[in-house]
């Protein structure tokens, strides 16, 4: 997992890194530019029209000048638009890269940019180095960049966006942001999605250990992190090792929620899955998920289960059942959907929730539980205090879902697809996380593996089906995610 530092810490990190590696800051900038260009070439952008690069006076501008030089070597026609009045104001590495710019690359002041002439714009005007409110000229430069209606790729950050705060005044609206070393916090906040566009992370050789010495409780979860979170099973493993889970889900007209959770739990590897459903609705489960067993409220021994997930589709008249469960079951549970709404209506239940349990609200459920928040950062802070006070874990669902752990760490997920914004996806996730808990995973392991693989399965299903991807398609891809991650 990559630690997410503040914008102000980037220059300290750079200094540590270049001292430790015995390289110059200019070499690090070259590495960043090379990483950007590698991604750019992989994307196969058209070279039929010239590329405009807006370059500022700081190191973000230095990156832009190095990128212009490298792209030219690869046959792209680049034109640099300078966003500084005189060369005396340039940072040292920006000045070096200006000197290295081949004479064939034309340079003009930013206000001479004519959006009709270009096929793509690279925004290397401002990065993590902005301080205080934007100067007037900066706003005009940003407006100029935004006047381009084609693809705008921002280097490190969309110019004008602060690395650490929520909200912006003037800001480049990028279709893609290519950020270096770690994603800046602002790039992960949902209120900035429309200016950040697609997020690409470029490795510039700074290791996780180098980031770890900084104080931050935010992390970014990557594919390579997942295998280490998994439990290993072996040839003597038997059905019991894979856990016996119960899903309390479904009610008249909402039995699909129970079916989806149960199927997802099996596809995640559970040995035994039972569904607690209304007696008169049992046929739906027994025909749609024949592998599952049905149990009914009057004959249930909750403690016989390794893990319990409660909430999808149970309806809002199940307060008594929820209270009984919380009083009788003492292992971590997964609470989702209607269980969360019931919790927001009955705050006294909070003290009954078993420690290390997992609450998985989407933004609406979060608001019902914790009140309105003006920004995502405020939301994260509320969640952190709650998790630490109650020793619970909260997953704030959305693009870049955030795993808020009981010890205060908050982990942003990197997998997922916009095709997942459809009914039933939350039910699938509940089944997956409950399944991992039942297999003996800790709450942190179950969350990390469940959330990442749910997103990955969504990406894979989305790649196959595109628009119209169903929650059931995502379930079918879960086994493939284990293969993709090399987890047996
Ligand atoms: N470890 C990393 O992440 C690396 C970062 N590098 C690049 O270096 C950038 C940071 O460079 P710098 O620290 O030089 O900062 P920037 O280049 O982001 O910004 C500095 C410039 O912003 C102007 N500025 C500051 N506040 C302003 C305001 N309120 N209104 C208008 N203009 C304002 C300054 O006059 C200066 O010209 C990163 O964003 C990244 O692009 C890379 O070169 C290499 C490695
Ligand atoms: K930028």
pLDDT at position 281: 96
Whether 177 is in the pocket of ligand 1, judged by its Cβ within 6 Å, is no
Whether 132 is in the pocket of ligand 1, judged by its Cβ within 6 Å, is yes
Q: pTM of the entire structure?
A: 0.96
Q: Which ligand is nearest to the CA of 134?
A: 1
3-class SS shares of the chain: helix, strand, coil, % to 5: 50, 15, 40
Is 220 among the domain residues? Answer: no
CATH code for position 378: 3.40.1190.20
Sign of the C-alpha dihedral, residues 200, 206, 212, 214?
Answer: negative
Is 69 among the domain residues? Answer: yes
> Atom 15, ligand 1: which residue's CA is nearest?
129
Whether 79 is in the pocket of ligand 1, judged by its Cβ within 6 Å, is no
Q: Total domain count for the chain?
A: 2
Do 480 and 333 share a structural domain? yes
β pairing state of 218-220 and 2-3: antiparallel
Q: Which two tokens stand for residue 237?
A: 């493993």
Do 257 and 181 share a structural domain? no
Query: Which of 8, 64, 124, 129 for a ligand 1 pocket mutation test, highest count of atoms within 8 Å of Cβ?
Result: 129
Do 477 and 422 share a structural domain? yes
Give ion ligand 2 contacts, CB < 5 A: 123, 154-155, 159
Non-local (6+) Cβ contacts of 311 within 8 A are: 248, 249, 334, 335, 336, 337, 338, 339, 340, 430
Max CA pair span of the chain: 83
Non-local (6+) Cβ contacts of 274 within 8 A are: 244, 245, 246, 247, 292, 293, 294, 295, 305
Whether 313 is in the pocket of ligand 1, judged by its Cβ within 6 Å, is no
Sheet holding 78-82, edge to edge: 106-109, 78-82, 51-55, 120-124, 151-155, 176-180, 198-202
pLDDT at position 472: 98
CA of 220 to the centre of ligand 1 (A): 22
Whether 57 is in the pocket of ligand 1, judged by its Cβ within 6 Å, is yes
The four Cα atoms 329, 331, 335, 341 give a dihedral, to 10 degrees, of 50
Do 241 and 202 share a structural domain? no
CA of 56 to the centre of ligand 2 (A): 8
- The answer to whether 461 and 474 have CB atoms below 8 angstroms apart is yes
- The answer to whether 309 and 247 have CB atoms below 8 angstroms apart is yes
Non-local (6+) Cβ contacts of 443 within 8 A are: 332, 356, 357, 358, 393, 405, 406, 437
DSSP 269: T
Do 258 and 191 share a structural domain? no
CA of 454 to the centre of ligand 1 (A): 36
- The rounded radius of gyration (Å) of the Cα atoms in the chain is 25
241 vs 32, 136, 285, 386, CA distance in Å?
Answer: 46, 64, 24, 33
Whether 474 is in the pocket of ligand 1, judged by its Cβ within 6 Å, is no
- The answer to whether 312 and 335 have CB atoms below 8 angstroms apart is no
Do 250 and 188 share a structural domain? no
Is 215 among the domain residues? Answer: no
Q: Which ligand is nearest to the CA of 121?
A: 2
Is 205 among the domain residues? Answer: yes
CA of 21 to the centre of ligand 1 (A): 22
Whether 131 is in the pocket of ligand 1, judged by its Cβ within 6 Å, is yes
**Residue ranges of the alpha helices (H) in 356-411?**
363-370, 376-390
Residue with tokens 């934007």: 134
Secondary structure class of 246 (helix, strand, coil): strand
pLDDT in tens, the chain (488 residues): 999 999 999 999 999 999 999 999 999 999 999 999 999 999 999 999 999 999 999 999 999 999 999 999 999 999 999 999 888 899 999 999 999 999 999 999 999 999 999 999 999 999 999 999 999 999 999 999 999 999 999 999 999 999 999 989 899 999 999 999 999 999 999 999 999 999 999 999 999 999 999 999 999 999 999 999 999 887 777 767 789 999 999 999 999 999 999 999 999 999 999 999 999 999 999 999 999 999 998 778 999 999 999 999 999 999 999 999 999 999 999 999 999 999 999 999 999 999 999 999 999 999 999 999 999 999 999 999 999 999 999 999 998 999 999 999 999 999 999 999 899 999 999 999 999 999 999 999 999 999 999 999 999 999 999 999 999 999 999 999 999 999 98
Query: Which of 126, 134, 170, 200 for a ligand 1 pocket mutation test, highest count of atoms within 8 Å of Cβ?
Result: 126
Q: Element (H or E) spanning 228, and its range? A: none
Whether 134 is in the pocket of ligand 1, judged by its Cβ within 6 Å, is yes
Choosing from 183, 209, 235, the residue where a domain stops is 209
pLDDT at position 242: 86
Q: Is 397 within any annotated ligand binding site?
A: yes
CA of 64 to the centre of ligand 1 (A): 11
Is 160 among the domain residues? Answer: yes
Q: Which two tokens stand for residue 204?
A: 């510039």
Do 122 and 253 share a structural domain? no
Choosing from 148, 181, 209, the residue where a domain stops is 209
Q: Containing domain of residue 262, as a range?
A: 227-485
Best CA proximity match to 423, nearest among 253, 260, 250, 308: 260
Q: Is 257 within any annotated ligand binding site?
A: yes
Do 276 and 200 share a structural domain? no
Best CA proximity match to 52, nearest among 11, 12, 108: 108
How many helices (H) and strands (E) are present in the chain, helices listed first? 16, 18
Residue with tokens 């090792």: 241
Do 34 and 150 share a structural domain? yes
Do 105 and 44 share a structural domain? yes
Rounded Cα gap, residues 140 and 160, in angstroms: 11
Non-local (6+) Cβ contacts of 458 within 8 A are: 415, 416, 417, 419, 420, 425, 469, 474, 477
**Residue ranges of the alpha helices (H) in 230-311?**
255-267, 282-288
- The answer to whether 6 and 164 have CB atoms below 8 angstroms apart is yes
Backbone angles phi, psi at 476, to 5 degrees: -65, -25
Do 359 and 294 share a structural domain? yes
Secondary structure class of 108 (helix, strand, coil): strand
Do 239 and 117 share a structural domain? no
Choosing from 146, 181, 209, the residue where a domain stops is 209
Is 218 among the domain residues? Answer: no
**Residue ranges of the alpha helices (H) in 22-175?**
25-42, 59-73, 92-100, 136-146
φ/ψ bin of 371: left (φ > 0), alpha (ψ from -120 to 50), beta (otherwise): left
DSSP 5: -
Secondary structure class of 157 (helix, strand, coil): coil
CATH code for position 44: 3.40.50.10260
DSSP per-residue codes, 408-419: S-EEE-----GG
């Amino acid at each position: 997992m990559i630690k997410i530092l503040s914008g102000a810490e980037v220059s300290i990190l750079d200094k540590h890194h270049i001292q430790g590696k015995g390289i110059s800051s200019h070499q690090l900038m070259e590495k960043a530019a090379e990483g950007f260009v590698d991604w750019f070439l992989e994307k196969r952008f058209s070279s039929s029209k010239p590329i405009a690069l807006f370059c500022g006076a700081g190191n973000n501008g230095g990156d832009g000048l190095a990128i212009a030089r490298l792209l030219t070597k690869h046959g792209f026609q680049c034109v640099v638009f300078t966003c500084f009045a005189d060369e005396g104001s340039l940072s040292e590495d920006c000045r070096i890269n200006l000197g290295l710019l081949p004479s064939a690359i034309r340079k003009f002041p930013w206000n001479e940019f004519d959006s009709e002439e270009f096929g793509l714009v690279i925004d290397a005007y401002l990065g993590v180095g902005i301080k205080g409110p934007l100067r007037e000229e900066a706003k005009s430069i940003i407006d100029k960049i935004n006047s381009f209606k084609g693809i705008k790729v921002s280097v490190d950050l969309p110019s004008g966006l602060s690395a650490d705060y929520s909200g912006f005044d003037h800001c480049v609206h990028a279709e893609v942001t290519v950020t270096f070393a770690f994603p800046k916090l602002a790039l992960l906040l949902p209120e900035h999605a429309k200016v950040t566009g697609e997020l690409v992370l470029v490795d510039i050789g700074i290791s996780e250990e180098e980031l770890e010495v900084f104080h931050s409780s935010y992390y970014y979860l990557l594919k390579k992190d997942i295998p280490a979170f998994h439990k290993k099973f072996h040839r003597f493993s038997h059905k019991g090792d894979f856990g016996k889970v119960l899903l309390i889900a479904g009610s008249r007209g909402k039995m699909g929620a129970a079916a989806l959770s149960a199927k997802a739990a099996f596809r995640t590897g559970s040995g035994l899955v039972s569904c607690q459903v209304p007696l008169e609705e049992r046929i739906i489960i027994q025909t749609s998920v024949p592998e599952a067993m049905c149990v009914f409220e009057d004959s249930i021994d909750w403690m016989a289960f390794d893990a319990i997930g409660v909430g999808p589709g149970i309806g809002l008249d199940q307060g008594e059942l929820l209270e009984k469960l919380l009083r009788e079951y003492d292992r971590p549970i997964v609470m989702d959907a209607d269980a969360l709404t019931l919790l927001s209506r009955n705050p006294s239940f909070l003290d009954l929730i078993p420690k290390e349990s997992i609450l998985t609200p989407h933004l609406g459920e979060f608001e019902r539980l914790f009140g309105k928040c003006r920004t995502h950062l405020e939301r994260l802070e509320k969640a952190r205090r709650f998790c630490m006070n109650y020793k619970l874990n909260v997953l704030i669902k959305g693009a870049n879902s955030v795993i808020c752990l009981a010890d205060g760490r908050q982990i942003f997920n990197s997998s997922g697809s916009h095709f997942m914004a459809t009914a039933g996806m939350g039910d699938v996730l509940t089944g997956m996380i409950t399944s991992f808990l039942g297999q003996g995973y800790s709450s942190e392991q179950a969350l990390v593996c469940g959330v990442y693989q749910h997103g990955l399965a969504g990406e894979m299903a989305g790649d196959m089906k595109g628009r119209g991807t169903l929650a059931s398609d995502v379930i079918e891809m879960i086994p493939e995610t284990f293969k993709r991650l090399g987890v047996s």
